[in-house]
């Protein structure tokens, strides 16, 4: 039985900007839950809509973050939320946002390129990260050097957050549904940063590009099991079993419902499912 609320709808996967935030005056989320929600808020169209920017400001204000900055370059976006009294801030990077599954599952054919901080990384992710770093993010990070900084993001946003963290190391890097970004030499550039990598059960995007010498994951795995519980399943064999059972559960409960995603491997990638798991939102 599912114990945590689950979002199987296509809208949750393809249009997370339409979701309502869980950040309210009554909420007191822990850091990783806050990162999950800020990663979802990063999908709001703040770069073109002042009302959306105000929505983000109000949401993060509920968590004590009194100052925001927004960054945009082409199809890459991010925002920063700062708590000036505590000298702490979270930079949240937007992930892939499209009705086209081919865009959601980032093309693994991109070749590795050398990353300035060290190692080889996915060229498509590098381009997206450089676009934002060169259009305000790097300057903002330099201005807040010495603060308690956190980088976060979902999907492509997680990959960009990982690359950004390697250039200006934050205290924490918290990612959700992250693809593999680079090689072992690149992973070493994150030594000294606390990296927590959340994977929701069958999330397909966390399995691309294929593993090998060119691409590996970074940080400590925090696995969300098929019931939405974090951290109870932690070895490879148990995870494989949980995923198999999760796919069966999904087929019976959601796969044939109109408006739902057809397979769990895609549905588990929805930002909402990371948010619900971290907030412990009951079914």
We find that the CATH architecture of domain 10-279 is 3-Layer(aba) Sandwich (3.40)
H or E element: which one contains 88?
strand 88-93
Q: Which tokens belong to 170?
A: 């934050």
Structure tokens at 137: 């993010």
Q: How much is the pTM?
A: 0.95
H/E element holding 92?
A: strand 88-93
**Predicted pLDDT of residue 99:** 52
Mean pLDDT by 10 residues, the chain (283 residues): 90 95 91 98 96 98 97 93 97 79 50 95 93 95 95 96 95 97 97 96 94 93 96 91 97 96 96 97 85
Q: What's residue 62's pLDDT?
A: 96
Extract the tokens encoding 269: 């990638």
pLDDT tens readout for residues 79-137: 999 999 999 999 999 998 765 444 444 445 578 999 999 999 999 899 999 999 999 99
Owner of token pair 């929701």:
200
CA–CA distances in Å: residue 32 to residues 20, 62, 67, 238, 277: 18, 16, 20, 24, 11
- What pLDDT is stored for residue 232 in this prediction? 84
pLDDT at 38: 98
The DSSP element (H or E) to which 130 belongs, if any, is helix 123-132
Cβ atoms within 10 Å of 22's Cβ, excluding its own? 20
Which two tokens mark 185?
């030499």
- In terms of DSSP bridges, do strands 76-83 and 67-73 run parallel, antiparallel, or are they unpaired? antiparallel
Handedness of CA 8, 172, 128, 179 (dihedral sign): negative
- Look at phi and psi of residue 177 and say left if phi exceeds 0, alpha if psi is from -120 to 50, else beta: left
d(CA 228, CA 23): 19
């Amino acid at each position: 039985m599912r114990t945590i609320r689950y979002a199987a709808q296509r809208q949750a996967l393809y249009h997370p900007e339409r979701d309502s935030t869980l950040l309210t005056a009554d909420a007191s989320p822990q850091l990783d839950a806050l990162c999950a929600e800020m990663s979802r808020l990063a999908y709001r169209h703040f770069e073109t809509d002042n009302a959306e920017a105000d929505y983000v400001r109000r949401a993060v204000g509920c968590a004590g973050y009194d100052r925001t900055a927004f960054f945009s370059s082409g199809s890459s976006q991010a925002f920063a939320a700062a708590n000036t009294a505590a000298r702490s801030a979270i930079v949240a990077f937007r992930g892939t946002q499209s009705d086209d599954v081919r865009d959601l599952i980032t093309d693994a054919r991109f070749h590795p390129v050398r990353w300035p901080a060290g190692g080889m990384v996915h060229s498509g992710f590098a381009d997206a990260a450089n676009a934002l770093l060169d259009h305000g993010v790097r300057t903002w990070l330099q201005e807040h050097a010495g603060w308690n900084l956190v980088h976060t993001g979902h999907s492509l946003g997680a990959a960009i957050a990982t690359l950004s963290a390697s250039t200006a190391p934050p205290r924490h890097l918290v990612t959700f549904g992250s693809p593999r970004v680079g090689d072992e030499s690149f992973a070493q550039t994150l030594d000294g940063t606390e990296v927590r990598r959340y994977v929701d059960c069958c999330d397909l995007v966390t399995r691309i590009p294929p593993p090998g010498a060119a691409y590996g994951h970074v940080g400590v795995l925090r696995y969300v099991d098929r019931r939405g519980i974090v951290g109870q399943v932690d070895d490879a064999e148990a995870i494989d079993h949980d995923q198999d059972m999760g796919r069966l559960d999904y087929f019976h409960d959601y796969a044939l419902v109109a408006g739902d995603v057809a397979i769990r491997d895609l549905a588990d990638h929805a930002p909402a499912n990371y948010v619900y798991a971290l907030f412990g939102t009951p079914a």
